Amino acid sequence: MKIGNVTAVRGGIAKGHLYGGELSCGSPVNVPLIIVQGAEAGPVLWVNSTIHGDELNGILLCKQLSEELDPKTLKGTVVITPLSNPMAFQTKHKFTWVDRLDMDQQFPGSPNGWFSERAAYTLFEEIKKHANYLISLHSLAAEYDTVPYAIYKKIAGVPEEITKKTEELTLAFGLKANCIVDLSQTGAELPGAIAKNMDVNCILNGIPAFMAEVGAGGCFQQDKIDLSKNGVYNVMSKLGMIDRPVKYLEKDRYMVFKRKFPTANRGGLFEPFVKAGEVLEKGTKFGHIFSPLEELETIETDAKWLPLGVTHFPPVNTGDIIGVIALEWSPIQD
Ligand SMILES: [Zn+2]
């Protein structure tokens, strides 16, 4: 296996870059790449992180994973792209600064398009060529109080066994909350081109894939990293790549069938009154928005809410998302 300038070594670790274009000053944009190839044959698991430039926990997770994996006992190959969008990372922002696009809404990409479309194309061509399974590591925005959660998508027309395997691996990952997004009904969910997400395009190409939200952006949170790193090992166990039983670190895990992303009506300073993970009855005060001069808005729950994320970064504009809310959920029986 050769990806970018990295040639895999059987029973070893190889590191290098995937070429990702050039800056106007002539400097290359390099996407870091690690291939851990086991001594024995087996599936190829691709772990991708930081397609949104301010979501950093996954980078440290990938570093620790690559240091901990033992290629001598590994069956199959783990391909790791810890920092898949260097151009967004460079400006500490979710989007790519050169074209102001969300790279995770550009798949399968285009070889002749905008910077983010080309970056998505280059990466996705390699994923299609090599990966059997993929985990896409994200985080919520900076300053979010979070319940770590995974998301997998149901897509019409995808073979049943791909959907089943995707669900099996998502649940094996073992985070507290596990969201199913039915793509035929996502109109009411997060705005944006979900159909052009990396994981969706993997699934459309027969590669079971899901997203994990590893805590908050803009920082390293080792406790959240540990939960998701355990998830990667659980997936590897399920795929027969390592000899280790599946371990669930989270108790009382649940499936989430419907989410919503409440937004601010007024611009000002948001202060939450609740914590992520606590069940809120209808009519609970979720938080308020105020200016230095006056009280502007109180946000109340309009149904039973289970917040998976609550922003703790006070400045909000009209339309800014202030939380990620589970509206319908049920416990997972082990
Ligand atoms: Zn993200």
Domain holding 310, by residue range, is 259-331
User: Based on the domain organization, do 23 and 117 belong to the same domain?
Assistant: yes
With beta carbons less than 8 A apart as the criterion, state whether 137 and 47 touch.
yes
Same domain? For 200 and 57 the reply is: yes
Residues 260-287, mean pLDDT to the nearest whole number? 97
Query: 78 and 225 in one domain?
Result: yes
Report the range of poorest mean pLDDT among 32-46, 60-74, 181-195, 203-217. Answer: 181-195
Planar angle of CA 173, 227, 193, nearest 5 degrees: 60
Domain containing 138 — which CATH number?
Answer: 3.40.630.10
> Ligand 1 centre and the CA of 88: distance in Å?
11
173 lies in the same domain as 264: no
For residue 139, how far is its CA from the centre of ligand 1 (angstroms)? Answer: 5
Structurally, the chain folds into a number of domains equal to 2
Same domain for 281 and 150: no
Sign, Cα dihedral of 173, 234, 59, 192? negative
Confidence (pLDDT) at 85: 98
Cα(41) to centroid(ligand 1), Å:
32
Q: Residue 334 — pLDDT band, cuts 50, 70, 90?
A: confident
CA of 9 to the centre of ligand 1 (A): 31
Q: What is the mean pLDDT of the chain?
A: 95
> How far away, in angstroms, is 194 Cα from ligand 1 center?
12
* Torsion-angle region of 109 (φ positive above 0: left; ψ -120 to 50: alpha; else: beta): left
Q: What CATH number did the domain enclosing 300 receive?
A: 2.40.50.100
Token readout for 324 is: 């990620």
- Shared-domain flag, residues 75 and 202: yes
